[in-house]
């Protein structure tokens, strides 16, 4: 049988043929696609015609399309539905892909043609999008070794090959460590405090593993409720220590991988003429320099830390008071106490907790709510269909249409945890949007989450935090769906990394608005609309412990910069380095056996190295952007159209600050974020 990955897909809407894919298809298909792409690249490089924008820059944008589709399928599955076989193939093909990418950027003839077009750019009468594509391609070469001598090019290839292997191994170790831990309980008395939904989910999980009693894991839908509600402090401690020690001093230890990745990235940057990896990365970000990131982070830290210290003192006093009232002593507030007492304090202050809200947030209703909001803002409609192949039975597939009935996109949604799926939530793409021969080819996008599965008696009921997670990832998906650019490499979420979180984070704001919540927040049994007083409590609690939350997020960004904005060869011990970095942000006592860096997948496996600060950067943008919606109405169609036309549809076609200013009329102000986080009073 012919390999289904290397022939034209014959599924509806040209979607991926998941049902036909077998393990033995992936590696041969990738190797064949690499050869196909290499032929396309060589054809461009050896073209005897004078280099032009069309025969060089546009041709490069089209080259490797088959390889791109195959690898997007494969590596998305390696995150969402992996196995030992898939991980083994990933280890084999990643260095080959790295080598192929090096073959492109280190191809002298190809670079000469790109450079020839670049040098005449001012006389070519290019559109802004074409100018961006040209500049992006030129930098792709110049920033990745095209100007190096042969010895340095060889070393660059070696570094990239090593990095591809190490980052894969890092992720595999984290997943293995996550899956390895189980807390198995048979004594009901140790479940005190846990909601019935959490107990039922734990009982169902135990049954699937052939065990009696209850099973808790480090997957978020299991871990978060346990840490939030379990009265048993010793068990919370056990879970915290297991979660925080993933891939640290265990059989899946990542310490050496962390050090090697950081050192190789530094060496690579130095080879290319940059001071550090952060200098290399940030040249292509809105922030531009490590100094700008540091000053931005410090400004927020100065605003947040006094509030965080007050909030911590309040939490500590409340915890002591609660312990005394319940007949036990609390020696010192520890990390395993944070979520537990924070939840109880929130209940006391706002009479609000997840168990009160969850009945109103049935997953299916929340999905419908996100769809309805997208319809009101952007005219999109979503039809659940069963004729599109999926890689797992849990995946939902939708045909998305525009207001005029034309096809907008194909949308995949994958909501529940399983052993072959990494933790967290993310958006991804199986096919980019682009225009070719007059046809606007529409994208195939996906969101992947880890929400609580339905049980035998209850549907999937989301915490409010999970609702905002759903909207966050759906915001990314809208960025992909509403893409309307000519070129593949500039489409959708192909934007500066510190701009990519704007569409996702801005959509979270609708979760706090009465007009939006009343579209979907209905009791799963009675159909009763969420009471207005609950919505008021949600809004009142929205900046609860805003200082602590800001401090926590800043600490992650600072840890990232501490690995990538320095010479890491001077770092001898991962844990000691981390402790030194956290000394100005961590208010809780250190847990000696825990280390964040060894499982910090965002920066050591994902694409956030020297870019984790972008979450806070984008919060400034999203708070400022939503101010305009609040001023004009959260469903104001003119404001939504402006956001779509100037931000969502434009992808990476122009500098993001230019795009943002077209929408907002000015550069973003930090004040809306400070106000939303309850920190503005610190500035007056």
639 CA to centre of own chain = 26
Position 353 scores a pLDDT of 85
Strand partners, 385: 397
Catalytic residue among 40, 200, 311, 473: 473
- pLDDT tier, 682 (very low <50, low <70, confident <90, very high otherwise): very low
CATH number of 359-540+615-683: 1.10.1370.40
In this predicted structure, the answer to whether residue 684 has a pLDDT above a threshold of 50 is no
Taking Cα atoms as reference points, which of 606, 602, 503, 611 lies closest to residue 564? 611
In this predicted structure, the answer to whether residue 453 has a pLDDT above a threshold of 70 is yes
How many angstroms separate the CA atoms of 256 and 419, rounded? 25
In this predicted structure, the answer to whether residue 468 has a pLDDT above a threshold of 90 is yes
Q: Render pLDDT for 620-670 as a digit per residue (tens, 0 to 9).
A: 999 999 999 999 999 999 999 999 999 999 999 999 999 999 999 999 999
Q: Render pLDDT for 111-132 as a digit per residue (tens, 0 to 9).
A: 999 999 999 999 999 999 999 9
How many angstroms separate the CA atoms of 30 and 66, rounded? 9
Percent of the chain with pLDDT over 70: 99
In this predicted structure, the answer to whether residue 451 has a pLDDT above a threshold of 60 is yes
Q: Render pLDDT for 216-241 as a digit per residue (tens, 0 to 9).
A: 999 998 999 999 999 999 999 999 99
All structural domains of the chain with their residue ranges = 12-147, 181-244, 359-540+615-683
- What is the fold of 12-147? Glutathione S-transferase Yfyf (Class Pi); Chain A, domain 2 (1.20.1050)
Mean pLDDT score, 19-40? 97
In this predicted structure, the answer to whether residue 278 has a pLDDT above a threshold of 50 is yes
- pLDDT tier, 683 (very low <50, low <70, confident <90, very high otherwise): very low
Contact 587, 334 (CB under 8 A): no
Mean pLDDT score, 259-271? 98
473 is catalytic: yes
Strand partners, 522: 529
- pLDDT tier, 1 (very low <50, low <70, confident <90, very high otherwise): low
pTM for the structure as a whole: 0.88
Structure token digits, residue 675: 């106000």
Contact 61, 489 (CB under 8 A): yes
Q: What rounded mean pLDDT belongs to the chain?
A: 95
Percent of the chain with pLDDT over 90: 94
How many angstroms separate the CA atoms of 580 and 583, rounded? 5
Residue 442, CA distances (Å) to 4, 389, 482, 487 in order: 21, 17, 9, 12
Domains 12-147 and 359-540+615-683 share a fold: no
């Amino acid at each position: 049988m012919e390999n289904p990955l290397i022939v034209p897909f014959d599924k509806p809407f040209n979607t991926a043929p998941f049902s036909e894919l077998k393990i033995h298809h992936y590696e041969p298909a990738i190797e064949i696609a690499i050869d196909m792409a290499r032929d396309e690249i060589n054809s461009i490089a050896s073209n005897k015609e004078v280099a032009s924008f069309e025969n060089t820059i546009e041709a490069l944008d089209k080259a490797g399309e088959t390889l791109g589709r195959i690898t997007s399928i494969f590596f998305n599955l390696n995150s969402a539905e992996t196995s030992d076989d898939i991980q083994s193939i990933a280890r084999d093909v990643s260095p080959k892909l790295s080598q192929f990418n090096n073959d492109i950027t280190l191809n002298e003839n190809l670079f000469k043609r790109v450079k020839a077009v670049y040098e005449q750019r001012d006389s070519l009468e290019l559109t802004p999008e074409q100018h961006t594509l040209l500049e992006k391609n030129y930098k792709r070469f110049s920033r990745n070794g095209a100007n190096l001598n042969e010895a340095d090019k060889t070393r660059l290839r070696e570094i990239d090959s090593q990095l591809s292997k190490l980052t894969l191994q890092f992720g595999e170790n984290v997943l293995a460590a996550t899956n390895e831990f189980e807390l198995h309980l048979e004594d009901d008395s140790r479940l005190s405090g846990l909601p019935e939904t959490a107990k039922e989910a734990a009982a169902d999980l135990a049954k699937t593993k052939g065990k009696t009693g209850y099973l808790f894991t480090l997957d978020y839908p299991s871990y978060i409720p346990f840490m939030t509600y379990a009265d048993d402090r010793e068990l919370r401690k056990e879970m915290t220590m297991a979660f925080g020690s993933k891939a640290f001093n265990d059989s899946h230890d990542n310490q050496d991988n962390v050090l090697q990745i950081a050192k190789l990235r530094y060496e690579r940057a130095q080879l290319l003429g940059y001071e550090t990896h952060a200098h290399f990365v940030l040249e292509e970000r809105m922030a531009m320099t490590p100094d700008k990131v540091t000053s931005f982070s410090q400004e927020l830290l100065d605003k947040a830390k006094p509030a965080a210290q007050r909030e911590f003192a309040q939490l500590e006093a409340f915890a002591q008071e609660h312990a005394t009232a319940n007949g036990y002593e609390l020696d010192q507030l520890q990390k395993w106490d944070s979520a537990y007492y924070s939840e109880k304090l929130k209940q006391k202050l706002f009479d609000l907790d997840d168990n009160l809200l969850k009945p109103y947030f049935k997953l299916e209703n929340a999905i419908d709510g996100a769809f309805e909001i997208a319809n009101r803002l952007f005219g999109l409609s979503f039809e659940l269909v069963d004729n599109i192949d999926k890689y797992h039975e849990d995946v939902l597939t939708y045909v998305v249409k525009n207001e005029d009935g034309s096809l907008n996109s194909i949308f995949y949604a994958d909501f529940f945890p399983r052993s072959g799926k990494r933790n967290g939530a993310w958006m991804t793409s199986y096919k980019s949007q682009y225009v070719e021969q007059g046809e606007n080819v529409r994208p195939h996008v996906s969101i992947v989450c880890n929400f609580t599965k339905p049980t035998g008696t209850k549907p999937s009921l989301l915490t409010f935090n999970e609702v905002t997670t759903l909207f966050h990832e759906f915001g990314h998906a809208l960025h992909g769906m509403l893409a309307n650019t000519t070129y593949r490499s500039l489409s959708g979420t192909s934007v500066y990394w510190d701009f990519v979180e704007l569409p996702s984070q801005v959509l979270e704001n609708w979760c706090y608005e009465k007009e939006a919540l009343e579209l979907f927040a209905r009791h799963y049994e009675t159909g009763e609309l969420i009471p207005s007083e609950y919505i008021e409590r949600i809004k009142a609690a929205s900046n609860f412990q805003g200082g602590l939350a800001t401090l926590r997020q800043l600490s992650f960004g600072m840890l990232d910069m501490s690995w990538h904005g320095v010479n890491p060869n001077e770092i001898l011990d991962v844990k000691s380095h981390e402790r030194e970095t956290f000394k100005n942000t961590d208010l809780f006592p250190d847990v000696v056996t825990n280390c964040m860096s060894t499982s910090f997948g965002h920066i050591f496996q994902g694409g956030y190295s020297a870019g984790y600060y972008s979450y806070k950067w984008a919060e400034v943008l999203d708070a400022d952007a939503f101010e305009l919606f609040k001023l004009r109405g959260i469903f104001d169609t003119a404001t939504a159209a402006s956001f779509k036309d100037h931000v969502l549809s434009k992808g990476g076609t122009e500098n993001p600050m230019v795009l943002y200013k077209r929408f907002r009329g000015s550069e973003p102000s930090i004040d809306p974020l400070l106000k939303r986080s309850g920190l503005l009073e610190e500035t007056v």
